[in-house]
């Protein structure tokens, strides 16, 4: 019988056939000889190569250990022991996401190949016809990140390797300094600088200075709901420059200062305030306008050169396109699970590379450790990384999620475990059921709702 090695054409044809069949073992036989074949047999099934693996089951794992609903999608496969995890946390409407995962995503995904993430993303994206809502985008994120996790496990590599490898040794992060007075904010800022942080976000009171003023008239009048917050725009606008001035004087010029407006003031007020902050050299000012007010960016950019971070409230991957190609902001402030996971976040990040727009992914407490790990893997890989929000996991959270990213000297590190590197203890997760109480209204003095 003719040997494949004696006939190059046949050799290639056989190789193509084996690749098409997904037979890595066959390829090793052709190119590697029998010794490799025996080594391959000793590896776990999922690390042997590209043999087709199907989705066997998809389910939501919902937990609320620290009073914040967290949702993770678990994608189980036909390969024994091989599964992936992805963050689908939309904390304010968690029960709806759980239903969408268990009812619709499961039905969509079971029986499909785990390999083709891009195709799976696009298929599920249009499978409901109407799309780009926060519930279904989080569901897609859970699937997408879980599939990247699975691909990493099959390749025996951390996900950042599949995204291009490391562009830096670790992920530089910023901390949150806060206090009710400028002096208290400066003290808090210094504390983080002493821990090694080079970047600190400074906020006086809650977002928009909530909690700094007396009980508002709407509550005295019995208007609104019991837990509504109150914000006085005029108090806030006057407090921010004073806070920057105090922190700069007390903490020096070396620290990079950030601040989040949280979209809660009138666009022209935001523009004037940011212009006034130029002298304090902010690293960036975050979320100056609500998503309803994007056209104000032209005026903002014409008025001041202070760097801007934007995008936390964008649901739709397409919302990033125009502001980015017009260079209306400098930092991509995306909530990764909100736009559908690693796949779209990589597209936005790469687009930013063309326009010198850097990443600054939203990393609050309502992202699961799986989601934080996904951020860090992208942060490590993309060239135009800017900064990441620091994260600290409680002991309770770490009993549920093992392998969480770690902080050291202001940097975040992921472990080198294949995939995203985070696992979940489902039994522990079940001890903390999610709640449906999560409403975030903020009002003006007369009771008018403020749009964040």
User: Is 262 assigned a catalytic role?
Assistant: yes
Helix or strand or coil: residue 94?
A: helix
- Contact of 58 with 74, CB cutoff 8 Å: yes
Residues 6+ apart with CB under 8 A from 390: 173, 174, 175, 176, 197, 363, 407, 410, 412
Rule CB under 5 A: say whether 389 interacts with Mg ion.
Answer: no
Of the two residues 85 and 271, which places its CB atom closer to Mg ion in the complex?
Answer: 271
| Shortest distance, position 130 Cβ to Mg ion, whole Å | 27
Looking only at residues 195 through 214 of this chain, which bind Mg ion when binding is defined by CB under 5 A? none
Query: By C-beta, is 60 or 277 nearer to Mg ion?
Result: 277
Which helix H or strand E contains 324, and what residues bound it?
helix 321-325
Query: Residues 27 to 46: which contact Mg ion by CB under 5 A?
Result: none
259 carries an active-site annotation: no
**Looking at beta carbons only, is 148 or 207 nearer to Mg ion?**
207
Encoding tokens for residue 229? 């917050």
279-308 binders of Mg ion (CB under 5 A): 286-287
- What are the residue ranges of helices labelled H in 197-278? 217-220, 233-251, 267-276
Quick check: 401 and 415 in contact, CB under 8 A? Answer: no
Number of residues near Mg ion (by CB under 5 A): 4
- CA dist 404 and 154 (Å) reads 20
- Cα Dmax for the chain: 95
Helix axes 134-155 and 342-354, enclosed angle (nearest 10): 90
**Least Å from the CB of residue 261 to Mg ion:** 8
Kindly state the smallest distance separating residue 361's Cβ from Mg ion, in Å: 11
Residues 6+ apart with CB under 8 A from 96: 90, 135
Nearer to Mg ion among residue 114 and residue 357 (C-beta)? 357
Structural contact between residues 77 and 448, judged by C-beta atoms closer than 8 angstroms: no
Candidates 175, 312, 366, 389; binder of Mg ion (CB under 5 A) is: 312
Which of 144, 145, 149, 260: binder of Mg ion (CB under 5 A)? 260
Q: Is the dihedral of CA 258, 261, 263, 265 positive or negative?
A: negative
Q: Which span (78-86, 163-171, 259-267, 426-434) binds Mg ion, by CB under 5 A? A: 259-267
In the complex, the smallest distance separating the C-beta of residue 304 from Mg ion, rounded to whole angstroms, is 19
The CB-of-274 to Mg ion minimum distance in angstroms stands at 15
Say how far apart CA 257 and CA 237 lie, in whole Å. Answer: 17
Token readout for 16 is 């193509």
145 CA to centre of own chain: 11
Nearer to Mg ion, 260 or 379 (CB): 260
Tell me how far apart the alpha carbons of residues 31 and 217 are, in angstroms, rounded to a whole number.
79
Closest CA to 333 of 320, 321, 318: 320
Closest-CB residue for Mg ion? 260
Q: Which range, of 73-81, 252-260, 299-307, 393-401, touches Mg ion by CB under 5 A?
A: 252-260
Q: Min. distance of Cβ 389 from Mg ion in angstroms?
A: 9
User: From the candidates 160, 192, 230, 262, which is the catalytic residue?
Assistant: 262
Q: Which member of 207, 236, 280, 411 is catalytic? A: 207
Q: How far is the CB of 390 from Mg ion (least distance, A)?
A: 14
Return phi, psi of residue 360, to 5°: -155, 65
Residues 70-99 that bind Mg ion (CB under 5 A): none
Q: Closer to Mg ion at the Cβ: 172 or 389?
A: 389
Residues of this chain that interact with Mg ion (CB under 5 A) are 260, 286-287, 312
Catalytic residue positions, numbered: 207, 262
């Amino acid at each position: 019988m003719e040997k494949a090695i004696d006939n190059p054409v046949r050799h290639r044809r056989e190789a193509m056939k084996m690749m098409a069949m997904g037979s890595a073992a066959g390829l090793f036989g052709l190119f590697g000889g029998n010794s490799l074949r025996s080594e391959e047999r000793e590896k776990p099934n999922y690390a042997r190569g590209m043999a087709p693996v199907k989705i066997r089951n998809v389910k939501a794992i919902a937990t609320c250990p620290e009073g914040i609903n967290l949702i993770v999608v678990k994608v189980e496969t036909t390969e024994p022991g091989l599964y992936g995890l992805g963050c689908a946390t939309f904390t304010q409407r968690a029960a709806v996401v759980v239903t969408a995962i268990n009812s619709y995503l499961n039905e969509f995904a079971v029986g499909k190949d785990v390999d083709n993430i891009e195709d799976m993303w696009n298929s599920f994206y249009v499978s409901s016809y109407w799309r780009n809502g926060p519930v279904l985008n989080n569901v897609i994120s859970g699937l997408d990140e879980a599939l990247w996790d699975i691909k990493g496990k099959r390749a025996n590599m951390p996900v950042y390797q599949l995204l291009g490898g490391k562009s830096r040794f670790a992920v530089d992060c910023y901390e949150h300094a806060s206090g009710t007075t400028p002096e208290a904010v400066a003290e808090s800022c210094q504390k983080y600088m002493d821990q090694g942080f080079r970047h600190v976000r400074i906020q006086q009171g809650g977002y928009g200075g909530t909690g700094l003023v007396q009980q508002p008239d709407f509550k005295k009048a019995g208007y609104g709901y019991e837990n509504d917050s109150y914000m006085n725009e005029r108090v806030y606008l006057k407090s921010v420059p004073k806070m920057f001035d105090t922190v700069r004087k007390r903490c020096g010029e070396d620290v990079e200062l950030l601040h989040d407006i949280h979209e809660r003031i009138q666009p022209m007020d935001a523009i004037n305030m940011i212009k006034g902050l130029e002298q304090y050299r902010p690293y960036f000012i975050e979320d100056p306008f609500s998503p309803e007010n994007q056209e104000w960016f032209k005026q903002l950019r014409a008025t001041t050169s202070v760097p801007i971070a934007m995008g936390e409230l964008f649901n739709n991957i397409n919302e990033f396109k125009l502001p980015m190609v017009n260079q209306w902001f400098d930092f991509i402030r995306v909530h990764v699970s909100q736009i559908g996971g690693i796949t779209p976040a990589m597209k936005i990040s790469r687009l930013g590379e063309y326009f010198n727009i850097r990443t600054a992914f939203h990393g609050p407490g309502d992202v699961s450790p799986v989601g934080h790990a996904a951020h860090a893997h992208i942060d490590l890989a993309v060239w135009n990384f800017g900064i990441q929000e620091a994260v600290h996991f409680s002991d309770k959270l770490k009993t549920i999620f093992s392998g969480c990213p770690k902080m050291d000297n202001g940097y975040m590190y992921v472990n080198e475990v294949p995939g995203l590197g985070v696992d979940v203890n489902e039994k522990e997760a079940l001890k903390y059921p999610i709640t449906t109480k999560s409403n975030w209204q903020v009002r003006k003095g007369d009771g008018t709702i403020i749009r964040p």
